[in-house]
Structure 1
Amino acid sequence: MIKVMATTVGETGADFLAFTMNLGLDITSYIMGGLLLIALLNQFRLKCYVPLSYWLVVVLISIVGTLITDRLVDNFGVSLVTTNIVFILGLLAVFVFWYFSEKTLAMHSINTVKRELFYWVAILFTFALGTSTGDYLAETSGLDYAQSALVFGSTIAIITIGYYYFKMNAVLAFWSAYILTRPFGASIGDLLSQPTKNGGFGYGTIGTSMLFISIIISLVIYLSFKQKKRI
């Protein structure tokens, strides 16, 4: 739930800063990139899973991943077909190097700085790829926001069924679902934030971002208390 909402915040948050606040894609990218670097440095110094630190990085990397795709398409004129190909090849390259280096891609095996570095680079590519894929589908398929969300949500549901009932490989299921949550969350974000004339609910980027950030904070606080009780 937090991951889906983080992807939504990545979509609406980037739009809010770049367009609503008129910071532009370049300045927004520099600001969010700097914040992400600080959050990552803090994350790498930790020796165990800390919900607040981990999910802060996820939210920030979601925004940065969105901005990377938006800048390539809007500022440099790169087509969405090209960005999809580049990000797919980039993600595959990360997985290949990661596997040949560590012999595993399992999330629960991330217990060294090197593996965590591979993990976050892969996450960045999944967000950029998810943004590119979602935008491509929205612009070429003729589907509205609700239909796009249904397509991606149904695909995630199929993966879930495959894992629980047909013994789908756990690592493949995890990363497939992780990639798809990005366009799924983006579609939900667009559905809630876009004007009604464009097929959305008209809540705006501010309202949608604040709603989901509030829910994310509440869930992270819950996870933090739950972790302390286990300790």
Structure 2
Amino acid sequence: MTLTAEDRAVLSKVPAVTLGFWIIKILATTLGETGGDAVTMTWLGETGPNAGASGVSGYLIGTAIFLVPLIVLAIAQIAAKRFHPLLYWATIIASTTAGTTMADFADRSLGIGYTGGSALLLACVLASLGAWRATLGSVDVNRIATPRAESFYWLTITFSQTLGTALGDWAADDGGLGYLGGAAVFGGALAVLALLYYGTRISRVALFWVAFILTRPLGATVGDFLDKPLAKGGLDLSRPIASLALTAAILILILVLPQRAGGHPGAQPAGVPA
């Protein structure tokens, strides 16, 4: 695939997928959980005795609150001419906080449960990837060279963040693993994916998207462990304080770790179907 200068400018907005990328991504997903819960549970009282008293779901209100910055940031990211680390990661965080409230709304307010919510959101992720591939011929993150491809990228990311929240809740609650047990399972799954990445020839595109999805339930279970009550197996930390601490850690890592545009090791060669 031959890229024009314009294509390279757009492609440069996608960060290199390195170890630093995954560390920041996991912290961002954890922040999405604590930040989303801070708004819907702490501020809007969805876990309090008066939950739903207003007749409007706090999860729906929280979703509306977080969708606004997500849409604004996604548009800014797509319109940008080059890679801006702070803009990219702000959009990731916006997608994961919106994903938290959207998943909670589907699972709890709509009453379809964690299993139903996970199934619905998995269908959304697969539909987004299918439409992306059918339209542009690839879902490879190294081939995002047009605004249309980047639009599919952010749509898929938002669905995957939402799915990850539902999966984390399902594993911790319905699955009976608890928060630490769920974190251990998803962390172990990511370790297996790393071994497959370096030890097999399995599609790097498939491994990337599976890993991207699994970082979200890992962050969800860790976030829940930090802020849920002691009686439910959490540490009962302040959600706003935990969110501020995670935000500070992410900012420090963005400034300290190399932030460069590009692909990731072992990317699919040109001409190989994604």
% same residue: 32
Shift of 1:210: 1.3
Residue aligned with 1:83, SS: helix
State the partner residue of 2:132.
98
For structure 2, the 5+ residue unaligned runs are 1-22, 46-57, 262-274
**Separation in 2, partners of 1:22, 1:140:** 25
Matches within 5 A, 1:141-180: 141-180=175-214
Question: 2:169 aligned to 104, 124, 135, which one?
Answer: 135
Residue aligned with 1:202, SS: coil
Q: Which protein is bigger by CA-based radius of gyration?
A: 2
TM-score by length of 1: 0.92
- 1:86 lines up with 2:120 in the alignment: yes
In the TM superposition, structure 1's runs of 4+ consecutive aligned residues that sit over 3 Å from their partners are 225-228
Report the AA paired with residue 90 of structure 2.
Answer: L
For structure 1, the 5+ residue unaligned runs are none
- 1:16 lines up with 2:38 in the alignment: yes
**Separation in 2, partners of 1:156, 1:35:** 29
Aligned length: 227
TM-score by length of 2: 0.78
State the partner residue of 1:31.
65
State the partner residue of 2:143.
109
**Separation in 1, partners of 2:259, 2:209:** 26
**Separation in 1, partners of 2:77, 2:173:** 36
Matches within 5 A, 1:186-197: 186-197=220-231
Bigger shift: residues 30-39 or 144-153: 30-39
CA contact 1:194–1:204 (8 Å) conserved in 2: no
Shift of 1:226: 5.2
**Separation in 2, partners of 1:22, 1:81:** 25
- 1:42 lines up with 2:76 in the alignment: yes
CA-based RMSD = 1.7
Shift of 1:227: 4.7
Bigger shift: residues 32-41 or 190-199: 190-199
Question: 1:6 aligned to 20, 24, 28, which one?
Answer: 28
CA contact 2:32–2:97 (8 Å) conserved in 1: yes
Bigger shift: residues 152-161 or 84-93: 84-93
- 1:182 lines up with 2:182 in the alignment: no
**Higher share of residues assigned helix:** 1
CA contact 2:107–2:116 (8 Å) conserved in 1: no
CA contact 1:193–1:207 (8 Å) conserved in 2: no
Shift of 1:177: 0.4
Shift of 1:173: 0.9
**Separation in 2, partners of 1:22, 1:101:** 40
